[in-house]
Amino acid sequence: MSVTAAQGFAAAGVAAGLKPSGERDLALVRNRGPLTAAAAVFTTNRCKANPVLWSEQVIADGVVSAIVLNSGGANCYTGAAGFQVTHATAEAVAAALEVSAGDVLVCSTGLIGDQLDLAKLTAGVDAATAALATDAGLGAAEAIMTTDTRPKQAEQRSNAGWTIGGMAKGAGMLAPGLATMLVVITTDAVLGSAQLDSALRAATRVTFDRLDSDGCMSTNDTVALLGSGASGVEPDLDEFALALTEVCRSLATQLQEDAEGASHDITIEVVNALTEDDAVTVGRAVSRSNLFKAAIFGNDPNWGRVLAAVGTTDAAFDPYRIDVAINGVQVCAAGEPDQPRDRVDLAPRAVRVRIDLHAGDEGASILTNDLTHDYVHENSAYSS
Amino acid sequence: MSVTAAQGFAAAGVAAGLKPSGERDLALVRNRGPLTAAAAVFTTNRCKANPVLWSEQVIADGVVSAIVLNSGGANCYTGAAGFQVTHATAEAVAAALEVSAGDVLVCSTGLIGDQLDLAKLTAGVDAATAALATDAGLGAAEAIMTTDTRPKQAEQRSNAGWTIGGMAKGAGMLAPGLATMLVVITTDAVLGSAQLDSALRAATRVTFDRLDSDGCMSTNDTVALLGSGASGVEPDLDEFALALTEVCRSLATQLQEDAEGASHDITIEVVNALTEDDAVTVGRAVSRSNLFKAAIFGNDPNWGRVLAAVGTTDAAFDPYRIDVAINGVQVCAAGEPDQPRDRVDLAPRAVRVRIDLHAGDEGASILTNDLTHDYVHENSAYSS
């Protein structure tokens, strides 16, 4: 049930002194092989943190021997000095593990614009290297937490003999999108980096890319997939893709359920769209409406705010044919009030909004959260 | 200082019983001529309220004799019955004023999905007709308020002898954008509807269209400009355009300063963009970042969140050459920390964020607000 569930991986989570609280803040995951295949996707934000700039180069050849992650600072907009810190961190890992620095992914999360303390990072890398273990996945998952209230882990085991395990942190958005989402997934299936890459892109497209907690996109988001091949089993590619998607979906849902300050987990299901892109566009527009999200916080099934958000998109639909159901109650049919809104029970944390566009056969669901006092509090009081 | 400041106009604001509170909720503005020239712009939301669908037809010929506005209900997504209510309201005004119903604009604001009470509207129209007066502009401005805490009015007088006056309601967004913004501007300058239309579009483009309080777009927004020609003066077109823009700017600023729950009025000034569109795109992206807006509420000059929002756009810029100043303190220079962030004083209500893209010579400013506990409260507790 962790980043070390698959054979061939060891992990560690240590306290390097980057977090003022003294909690664990540096994680290391090592791929012991025999393969060192890897794939990764990064934030599409044009303002990218130094570890993303570094890691985009590392992943180019599909070979990764280790990944080092720190909380306590994003190392973003810290200039050339900040890039040197990332580089030196990778060098420290390379020296400790006797691998090439060019095969070490680096991830950081925390406040933008502050320099990280390289001496603390280096000492942390040494401590983590010494602590590497096949049963230390939970410690690694804890070391990457920022405003997360709990570690996130997932696992899928195939009867064919291979395993996928993963860990994630992030208490906000995506696209892949700012509380920064960092995800490390490992597998012992025998796959090359190109196969890992296509499986990872397919899985993130329908999971992490459809989690949009607060519409903000991080400068640091990274999802990495490392393959050790240690099971010795070449998987059925379809089965692998399905299992990987399941691990991503589990981690994405855990991110949603731990989103900063949220009191509702909202699934916006768009059906009968002309294209899947239309469904995603409509779902995302609703997920980004502060008025809708505040209404859900207030347990108010305000479907007018749903339609107002739908109407801002260029998706194919007739505005006066749309149906909206909230938690199974069809409050709007063909653009007119249907069932009484007081039949909708918004007391449970899980909320499902179903939007029928009557324009085609495609669909998609977007995961989001409500807009709460606690969200405002966490994001006004906490510099991240 | 009101919608009756220009000659040729009379107004009234009465209590028609649409608001449960018993406060004024129906406004009427009559153009007594000699001209009945007019122009209007409406929400670009594809989910349009019935009064917008009606008024788009009315404005087509550029002739408007009167405009009737109600709070207490948006008459949006109320189906054919709702359209009939709008139509009947226009007919009631037409009968009372002995004009054509096709020359009567209708505006509504309030909750989506509820039918308005036609009998109350009709009685309110009769009462308003009886109360029409050239000194009743303030009453009209009060009658269109919803969550507004104060009426909004503006005026410009030319030495040449003509006047522009206006009123507005709205405590949220724009584009023109959901708390619904309704604006009525009147002038006694001698201008045709085509001249009014081009002046109005030019003025709204740089004023109301750059107010983006919470990123949400209403189904009901309307900005109408009525010309009576009663001054007998043909204005210099440039002077008129300038004065109209000033009236729009004043009303837009009043809307910003009364935005729901806001504790800061934020101007996002984007300079040295390659195009004006780029500047607007960048400013709007920052204005829609909940993380940035929550930070400002917390008096935290979190420039990392500014850059993270800028990075989501396709505007022309080098991410590592951008400068950011907050209230005059350059906190970020060329993508690196510059002045200490604790030099920024965010205690005042007015906040100015200046983003230098170093990509050209164009610029634009977007007006927005912070994201506060009171915003969440008002929009979770109040169905609008």
Residue matched to tokens 């012992």: A188
Burial of B12 (0-12, 13-18, 19+ CB in 10 A): buried
Provide the pLDDT for residue B384: 42
Q: Are B68 and B106 in contact (CB under 8 A)?
A: yes
Find the DSSP H helices in chain A.
50-58, 79-97, 118-131, 137-143, 193-205, 237-257, 276-287, 290-297, 303-310, 373-381
Residue B174 above 50 pLDDT?
A: no
Burial of A348 (0-12, 13-18, 19+ CB in 10 A): exposed
Question: Is B169 labelled as part of a ligand binding site?
Answer: yes
Question: Is B260 labelled as part of a ligand binding site?
Answer: yes
Residue A382 above 80 pLDDT?
A: no
Asked if the Cβ–Cβ distance from B309 to A74 is below 8 Å, we say no
Question: Would residue A245 show up in a list of annotated catalytic residues for this protein?
Answer: no
Strands of the A152-157 sheet, one edge to the other = A37-42, A222-227, A182-187, A163-169, A152-157
CA distance B290 to chain A (A): 7
Encode pLDDT of A236-275 as tens digits: 999 999 999 999 999 999 999 988 889 999 999 999 999 9
pLDDT band of residue B179 (cuts 50, 70, 90) is low
Spatial separation of the C-alpha atoms in residues A85 and B383, rounded to whole Å:
51
Other beta carbons within 10 angstroms of residue B384's beta carbon come to 24
CA distance B214 to chain A (A): 7
DSSP letter, residue A290 = H
Asked if the Cβ–Cβ distance from B303 to A215 is below 8 Å, we say no
Q: Are B304 and A109 in contact (CB under 8 A)?
A: no
**Residue closest to A87 by CA, chosen among A72, A65, A104, A74:** A104
Provide the pLDDT for residue B382: 52
Question: Is A379 labelled as part of a ligand binding site?
Answer: yes
Provide the pLDDT for residue A381: 67
Range A284-318 burial, b when 16+ CB lie within 10 A, else e: bbbbbbbbbbbbbbbbbbbbbbbbbbbbbbebebe
Chain A residues whose CB is inside 8 A of the B215 CB are 288-290
Transcribe B340-376 into DSSP letters: -GGG----SSEEEEEEE--S-SEEEEEEEE---HHHH
Spatial separation of the C-alpha atoms in residues A209 and B105, rounded to whole Å:
44
Residue B309 above 50 pLDDT?
A: yes
Provide the pLDDT for residue A375: 84
Find the DSSP H helices in A174-272.
193-205, 237-257
H helix or E strand, kind and range, residue B205: helix B193-205
Residues 6+ apart with CB under 8 A from B112: A302, A303, A304, A305, A307, A308, B49, B74, B76, B77, B219
Provide the pLDDT for residue A112: 86
H helix or E strand, kind and range, residue B106: strand B104-108
Percent of chain B exceeding pLDDT 70 equals 96
Chain A residues whose CB is inside 8 A of the B312 CB are 45-46, 175, 217
Provide the pLDDT for residue A368: 92
Provide the pLDDT for residue B259: 85
Find the DSSP H helices in A98-213.
118-131, 137-143, 193-205
Task: Work out the angle at residue A142's Cα, subtended by the Cα atoms of residues A141 and A145, and round it to the nearest 5 degrees.
Answer: 95
Walk me through the domains of chain B, giving residue ranges and CATH numbers. Answer: 9-257 (3.60.70.12), 265-379 (3.10.20.340)
Provide the pLDDT for residue A178: 42
Residue A384 above 60 pLDDT?
A: no
CA distance A306 to chain B (A): 10
Q: Which of B175, B335, B372 sits opposite A376 (nearest CB)?
A: B372
pLDDT band of residue B27 (cuts 50, 70, 90) is very high
Tokens of B213: 């309080």
Which range of A4-8, A175-179, A337-341, B113-117 scores highest in mean pLDDT? It is A4-8
pLDDT band of residue A378 (cuts 50, 70, 90) is confident
Transcribe B210-264 into DSSP letters: GB-SSS---SS-EEEEEE--TT--PPPHHHHHHHHHHHHHHHHHHHHHT-TT-S-
Both ends of chain A: CA-CA distance in Å?
A: 29
Spatial separation of the C-alpha atoms in residues A198 and A195, rounded to whole Å:
5
Q: Output the average pLDDT for chain B.
A: 93
CA distance A180 to chain B (A): 11
Percent of chain A exceeding pLDDT 90 equals 82
Provide the pLDDT for residue A175: 41
Higher pLDDT: B260 or B14? It is: B14
Q: Are A108 and A69 in contact (CB under 8 A)?
A: yes
Asked if the Cβ–Cβ distance from A335 to B377 is below 8 Å, we say no
Residue matched to tokens 């959260």: A369
Encode pLDDT of A36-46 as tens digits: 999 999 988 88
Asked if the Cβ–Cβ distance from B376 to A375 is below 8 Å, we say yes
Tokens of A307: 């339609």
Asked if the Cβ–Cβ distance from B375 to A379 is below 8 Å, we say no
Asked if the Cβ–Cβ distance from A298 to B379 is below 8 Å, we say yes
Mean pLDDT computed over B93-108: 98
pLDDT band of residue B212 (cuts 50, 70, 90) is confident
Residue A67 above 80 pLDDT?
A: yes
Residue B37 above 90 pLDDT?
A: yes
Provide the pLDDT for residue A102: 98
Residue matched to tokens 């918004």: A346
Question: Is B384 labelled as part of a ligand binding site?
Answer: yes
Provide the pLDDT for residue A146: 87
Task: Tell me which of B109, B180, B222, B368 is the catalytic residue.
Answer: B180
Q: Which of B114, B312, B337 sits opposite A45 (nearest CB)?
A: B312
SS3 A229: coil
Encode pLDDT of B342-370 as tens digits: 999 999 999 999 999 999 999 999 999 99
Q: Are A311 and A304 in contact (CB under 8 A)?
A: no
